Every structure is written in structure tokens, then in C-alpha cells.
Structure 1
């Protein structure tokens, strides 16, 4: 496994965002399909953006308690490559979604609501994400993650200002950033560059 931490830039909503990531090539990008999010995109817009996305970048669809058939349809149509679940989706939901089309699944867990991280580690999802909540942009006590044996995505309060410190303490499989690389609620290419340089040991 590469020593470089994989990078997911979440909450893309504009063509300018796609142009930026096509140049910078993070490993994953995210489309948020939760209507209450300020980064929400509808399915038609996501398709338009995905059609312009470099094929080397995996598109992740972020959902919160969405109907399984709707999620599976987006995978089937190629609008997203990976599903990220941020709600109360249980093991039965994950099993049924897998049966629909065998898609790759990331299940997010709010670390602040877990008494033990073993619940997250035992998930049947392909990947787990350890977060401080649904897009809060607030960090948590990262030292808790030293007990986690399973590879994980880290999210919640990450930014170019703290990612070096974070990666000096823990070794996540991947990091997920959204508000931390924004200026006035829009993705900022220069902040994405700064963030990715640290993750890819280019400083």
C-alpha cells in the first residue's frame, strides 16, 4: 500500500469544481444528494458534472436515508461509482443495496455518538468513514482513532491548516474534505492544492 493518504474532495457542485479536480486528480470526489445540504446537487446536475469528470477519479454519491432503489439507479446509470451512507442505514440496508448491483459502499459513523469504535469496525460496508457529523466541518478527538485497526476514511474539520498535524498523529486510508477547502462556500482551487500537497508528501 502506498504511504500516501488518498484524498476525497466532497461537495462539488459547479463545472469550475470539475475543472479543478480534473487538473489536480484527487482519488475521489463527492456529490451530495441530501436536499438539506447547501452543497446539494440534483441527479441531472450530477450527471452533467460526472460526464465531464476525469475517468481516473471515482465519483461518490453521498446519501442520508435515501430509498435503496434510487441509490442503486444512480450507480446503474454511471452517475456515481461509489455510495456513501450518512444516515441511519443499517446492515440490512447495506445488504440489500449490495444485492441490487454490488456497488462499493462507504458507511459513515459519527465518532461523537459512538461509545466504542468497534461498531464502526464491524460494518459490512466496503469502507468506513469516521466523522464528527453530517458535514459539520467540526473536528473531533483524533487520538481516539489510534485504536482502530480497520482502514478508514477520516472526515470532519479537516483543512490545509491542520492536515499535516493530523497525518503526523494518525494514518487514515483516506481523508475527506469539503468546507475546509472552500472560500465563501465555494471550492477554492488553491486550498485544494495546499491540502493535497500534504497528503501526497509533496511539501
Structure 2
């Protein structure tokens, strides 16, 4: 069964919607973005979120110490690396925490996908870029043997195809469940229905 991650929660309303829709994962963006949250804000929001929903912190080339601080206070339980973090960086992070690590990869070629096979991260997240809202060439993922998160331009119009063609471990949406830049409860409900009916 494909799992659902809703990323870019930054308002109390977003948390209320997430509690109603109940994705498996909820993402807080700590990197520079219009959806960016501070550590304090994320901690506040986490307290309002159903504790059974796993929280993912999204970081871009962040200092490992800062990631560990946010992990240690329970604000997040999973780390998503969305920058230029290499295997050495992941190894250093792995030495300091047992938390699961998701590494985002922009697959511009089959070589990019092949390299991702050997990553030390627990999961790969294939994305078209940093919040571009566009899909990439899904055929590049053919034969990829690991469980992965699929992101990039997913919405109600292509979700059924994504699940049927790729059967990803999880799908990750942000702008695809928004209207005019804010999370939309009805879109979130519809995506949840589509994922469950997979």
C-alpha cells in the first residue's frame, strides 16, 4: 500500500487538516522556502498534530548539530535531506542518530537513479526540484529496486497514474494539495482517497 506524505505544513489550520486526513507522514520545511518554519513554530505545531503521524524535517545543507537538536526534542522523527548532502554527510549523521534518513534526488538521467541505489539513506525521494510543482520523466525509475518516495508535480490529475505505473512506497505532495499557496482540505481528502484506493 502506498503511503502519503503531506509536506510544507506551517499553519495551525494545516495541522487540523492533517489530523482529519491522517497521512502517514507530515513534513516541516526548515530550509528557506515560503513554507519555512522555525524550530519553535514546528515544535508548537507538532504538539497539535496527531502523535501517530510521523513528522519529517526537511533540510538543505544544514549543520548536523542543528538537525540533531530538532530530532532530540521530538519535533521531528525523520530527517529529509534536500540539498547537496553527500554520502560522507549521511554517514556522519548516521553515526549520531538512529532516525530514518530520506535523501532527495533529482533524477535527470538513469545514472542519477543508479547512483541512488547505493545511497546509505533509508529511503530515496525522487523529485523534480525544490518545489517546482512539475513532474519528471518517470520512465527513468524503471528497474529501481529500493523503496522510494515519489514527489514533484503530483496532484489529483496524475496521482492514479503514479500509483498504478510506479507503485511507490510513498507519495509526497505540497503544492499539489494547495489552493493559492495554502493547504486545501478538500484536495487533501481527495488525494488521501486516491492513495487509499490505489
1:182 corresponds to: 178
1:144-187: CA deviation from partner (whole Å, max 9, x where unpaired):
21221111000000001110122121110000000000001000
Measured in 2, the distance between the counterparts of 1:88 and 1:114 equals 18
Once the two structures are TM-superposed, the CA of residue 194 in structure 1 deviates from its matched residue by 0.6
Q: Over residues 107-159 of structure 1, what are the superposed CA-to-partner deviations in whole Å (9 max), with x where a residue is unaligned?
A: 01001266341111110011111111111111011122122111100000000
Give 1:51-130 correspondences, 5 Å limit.
51-112=47-108, 115-130=111-126
- Using the size of structure 2 for normalisation, the TM-score is 0.96
Name the structure 2 match of 1:6: 3
**Mapped contact 1:76–1:101 kept (Cα < 8 A):** no
Distance 2:98 2:183 in 1: 31
Contact 1:31 1:61 in 2 (8 A): yes
Q: Give structure 1 regions of 4+ aligned residues with deviation exceeding 4 angstroms.
A: none
Structure 1 CA distance for aligned equivalents of residues 193 and 117 of structure 2:
29
- Over the aligned positions, Cα root-mean-square deviation in angstroms equals 1.2
- Partner of residue 150, structure 1: 146
Deviations 1:22-72 (A, max 9, x none): 11110001000112x111111110000001110110000000000000001
1:21 is matched with: 18
The question of whether the paired residues in 2 share the 8 Å contact of 1:10 and 1:31 is answered with: yes
Tell me which residue corresponds to 1:31.
Answer: 28
Contact kept in structure 2, 1:143 and 1:170, CA below 8 Å: no
The gaps in structure 1 that reach 5 residues or longer are none
Question: In 1, are the aligned partners of 2:9 and 2:27 still within 8 Å (CA)?
Answer: yes
Aligned length: 198
